[in-house]
Every structure is written in structure tokens, then in C-alpha cells.
Amino acid sequence: MSTRKPSSSKPNARRRWSHKVMEKSDAMDLRAGVFKLKSARAIASSLKRSSESSKRRKSTPFRSAMSMLNFEINRAGKNLSPERTRVLNAAKGELRKVFGRPA
């Protein structure tokens, strides 16, 4: 008898949960394409605007915005180009600036 498990569709289901979170989550409403913007400052400004106007967030506007940015960076993972990774990580610093938080 083989000890190998039969393959299942679970690995694919695990890969797709984040897409469902981005579309149906109660985290907050984001502008479409916000993470595709070219400027870190534009991404940070859009996240700030969205987090402050959202009625669905569960935490402070800063924490919600930073959480969504980190979620996007982690969700995309190794599929992000080095340039996109740089821009999104720079957006973290810009987000701290627009909220008046220390670096």
C-alpha cells in the first residue's frame, strides 16, 4: 500500500482565498487599481482617503490602510516585479507621512 495521499483541489483553494478577501472582505472599500498606481505617494493618498471614508473598517484609518497595503504585498509575493515591490514598500513610508506618523 502506498502512503501517498491522493491529490485534491485544496492547494488551489488555498491560493484563491486572498482574491476572495480583496473582493468581499469587510476590511474597507478601496479605489479600483489603487495598487497599480505608479507613485508611492499616490497609493498612500488613495489608501488614506479610502480608509478615512470607509464605514466598513474595524480599526483606526492608519492601521486599516497599512494592513491593506501589507496584505497586497504579501498576497502578490514573488509575482511582484522588483520595481513594484520597491514602489509598494515606499508607499508604506509615504502612508506614515500622510498620517503624520513617525518613520
Asked if residue 92 is part of any domain, the answer here is yes
Asked if residue 9 is part of any domain, the answer here is no
User: For the chain, what is the domain count?
Assistant: 1
Each residue's pLDDT tens digit, 28-85: 677 788 888 999 999 999 999 988 888 777 888 999 899 989 988 988 878 889 999 9
Residue length, the chain?
103
Q: Kindly give, in sequence order, each residue whose CB lies less than 8 Å from that of residue 67, ignoring residues fewer than 6 positions away.
A: 27, 59
What domain range includes position 87? Answer: 35-103
> Would you say residue 10 has pLDDT above 60?
no
> Would you say residue 96 has pLDDT above 80?
yes
Residue 54: left if φ>0, alpha if ψ -120 to 50, beta else—which one? beta
Tell me the pLDDT band of 19, cut-offs 50, 70 and 90.
low
> Would you say residue 5 has pLDDT above 70?
no
- Report the pLDDT value the prediction gives residue 8, as an integer from 0 to 100: 54
Asked if residue 98 is part of any domain, the answer here is yes
